[in-house]
Structure 1
Amino acid sequence: MHPPMRFFWSAPVLSGLLSIALTAPANAQPDAVAVAESLFNRGLADMLAGRYPTGCPALAESHRLDPRPGRLFTLAECEAQWGRIATAVARYNDFLALYSRMSEAEKIQQHERHVVAREQRDALAPLVPQLTLSLPGNAPPGTVVQRDGITLGQPSLGIALPVNPGEHVVTTKAPGGPVHEVRFTIDRSESKTIELEVTLPGEEPAREEPTDRPPDQGAVPPPRPAEGAAPSMQASGPSGRRVVTYVAGGLAVSGLILGSVTGLMALDESSRAAKGCRDVGPGVATCGTAGKAAGDRALHLATVSTIGFSAGVVLAGAAVLLLLTEPSPAGPQASAAPRPRAGAVSWSLLAGPNGGGVAVRSQW
């Protein structure tokens, strides 16, 4: 990353921006001069306000209608502040070339601008990106190449040309063929070479896959079951009910572990409290500071242990209930289910007029 260019205008230069020093050319039309003056004032106001996308084009049109050194210099400054450094260097060079053809009186009037233009040109020139565009060998004669809407002739291809930093669009079109477009960005001081592609007549233009499509787009969908057939019970993962069962079981284990650990800690603290207290009468004991603190901790840990055990037991019961009442797969898929492997354990609920129970089966 290069630091942004800074611009410091002295009083003579700033005053020169606000009023064009040289008179209009003799062949300039009065209406064109008036329009150019209005465009210059508007463009200068936009430039000073940082609105370069509107200010610089207005200054360029003002200079086209009424070419003057002051307009050209101001346009170069606007392009440089906008970040279009390749265009700015070209404008500074135009001003310096114009300055070299001025009379001595005009050079004295434009001397301050001449100094600034030369310094800016020398500072920006090394930062201008260089772009090389080349056509493939199968490109037919008459292929049109455009960069940002500007047609590039054959002499402009295959050599490094200065461009402004940022995003650019290059299109190629063979005679009778479709337009092929490529977009790219280039940074300051960067040199880039791009081998262009040309779509010949009758060929389908290459299409780029959109980058924002869902990952599963284009996947072959599974075949739909025949009409009247039972839906398949096969799933790619556990059902939502089974996930809830797993979560409840995990929380149940955590609750039981918490109850056990805090219960042991409560017993330990209770033992410490007993050592720090002594009986002074039937049912009456006095405790020191350490004994009282240990007793308080024992009471707190006992409460946590009770809550942990209770929650663990409730969640364990819920997990078992969810597991036992989970519906079995039905239909043709159920009859084709594989037999349980050796050592597998299964259970089922039994109900009858005299009560119910749980039947546990094991196969070896």
Structure 2
Amino acid sequence: MTRRLRRIASFAAFLLCPLAAATPAAAQESAAAEALFNRGLADMEAGKYEAGCPAIAESHRLEPKPGALFTLAICESRWGRVASAFKRFGEYLALHEQMTPAQQSRQGERAKVAREERERLAPLVPELSLSLPPGAPAGTVVKRDGEAVDAALLSTGVPVDPGEHVVSTQAPGGPVWETRIQIAEGEKKRVELQVSRAPTAAPSGGISGRRAAAYVAGGVGLAGLVLGGVTGALTLGKKSVVEEHCGSAIGQSDETACDPMGLAASESASTTGLVSTIGFGVGLAGLGTAAVLLLTEPEQGEAAAGATSRRIRAGVLAAGPGGVLIGARGAW
């Protein structure tokens, strides 16, 4: 063998190797398809369509053949899946038209049977029309029996098999809403679906400015009460010192006369007493303001409309030379 012939032989072997390797795999798929078809056909003849039809469908998927497609259509028709059978017979007829006369001849009466079955099944095929409610969020996904429904098919009657169908909707970021729909042979049903919207995000900070102000006022009020209580206790403590170091306690007829310790205690008590009074005043004012702000806060959903569920209004109740009176009026 010349060098040129060796090269040609080597190149041919290189091209044929993948084909030789693929042949066993193709043979295995063909054998599996034949086994599935035979098992499915036996189940179909025994009336076990729920097992037979899927087996024939898988056989046709592994090795598409006109005979398997026709048998699958017959199986689904007997099973009551009229929409699927109608579709399969149509696929078979479309395939039959592409065959050569010799191939069509080998199909026998199958094309005639397919046409007759389609005519018989046509009025039995149910149609289900699904639509979204007005204002449904853009991008809402609709699924029927786990398969997404094209947006262009919404509000259009689509052939479906009789029985129960699981339909769901899901808005972007929202939870899944699901329902089950029963439809009978020949029925045309329209269903408007529901959509569960995504949860509304809380406002920045989580609370309104009015509620925040109420919390601040309440905090100031509590601090004022604590201050008033502490300084009040100190004032009471200083009072006992004054009683021991002023007036008759030190031999003086004037009760306001005090020794140095009593004088210091008296001045200190005067200061802490004033602070205690101011603290209690601030505390009560702060808590009162917080209460008014909370009681007059509009409920959620009503604030935008300018309404509240309570007839209490805060503001200036009276004003005069002596000062201003702030409070709330109305009915609870």
How high is the TM-score relative to the length of structure 2?
0.52
Match of 1:97 in 2: 94
Q: Verify: 1:201 aligned to 2:198, yes or no.
A: yes
Which structure has the greater CA radius of gyration? 2
**Residue-by-residue CA offset, 1:236-287 (whole Å, 9 max, x unaligned):** xxxxxxxxxxxxxxxxxxxxxxxxxxxxxxxxxxxxxxxxxxxxxxxxxxxx
Displacement, 1:111? 3.1
Displacement, 1:48? 0.6
Match of 2:68 in 1: 71
Match of 1:168 in 2: 165
Match of 1:32 in 2: 29
SS at match of 1:36: helix
Match of 1:112 in 2: 109
Q: Verify: 1:144 aligned to 2:145, yes or no.
A: no
**Residue-by-residue CA offset, 1:161-203 (whole Å, 9 max, x unaligned):** 1011111110001111111011121111111000010000117
Instruction: Count the aligned residue pairs.
Output: 178
Q: Which amino acid aligns with 2:156?
A: I
Displacement, 1:93? 0.1
Q: Which amino acid aligns with 1:191?
A: K
Match of 1:60 in 2: 57
Displacement, 1:35? 0.8
Displacement, 1:94? 0.3
**Residue-by-residue CA offset, 1:111-132 (whole Å, 9 max, x unaligned):** 3111111111110011101111
SS at match of 1:137: coil
SS at match of 1:139: coil
CA distance in 1, matches of 2:85, 2:154: 23
Q: Verify: 1:135 aligned to 2:132, yes or no.
A: yes
CA distance in 2, matches of 1:135, 1:175: 14
SS at match of 1:74: helix
Q: Verify: 1:82 aligned to 2:74, yes or no.
A: no
Moved over 3 A (4+): none
Q: Which amino acid aligns with 1:145?
A: V
The one of 178, 187, 190 equivalent to 1:181 is 178
CA distance in 2, matches of 1:111, 1:176: 55
Displacement, 1:158? 1.1
Please provide the CA RMSD for this pair: 1.6
CA distance in 2, matches of 1:71, 1:142: 39
Unpaired runs of 5+ in structure 2? 1-22, 201-332
CA distance in 2, matches of 1:141, 1:60: 37
SS at match of 2:148: strand
Superposition map of 1:1-364 within 5 A: 29-202=26-199
SS at match of 2:28: helix
Unpaired runs of 5+ in structure 1? 1-25, 204-364
SS at match of 2:182: strand
Identity level (%): 56
**Residue-by-residue CA offset, 1:136-161 (whole Å, 9 max, x unaligned):** 12221221111111110101111111
SS at match of 1:159: coil
CA distance in 2, matches of 1:179, 1:138: 17
CA distance in 2, matches of 1:38, 1:114: 25
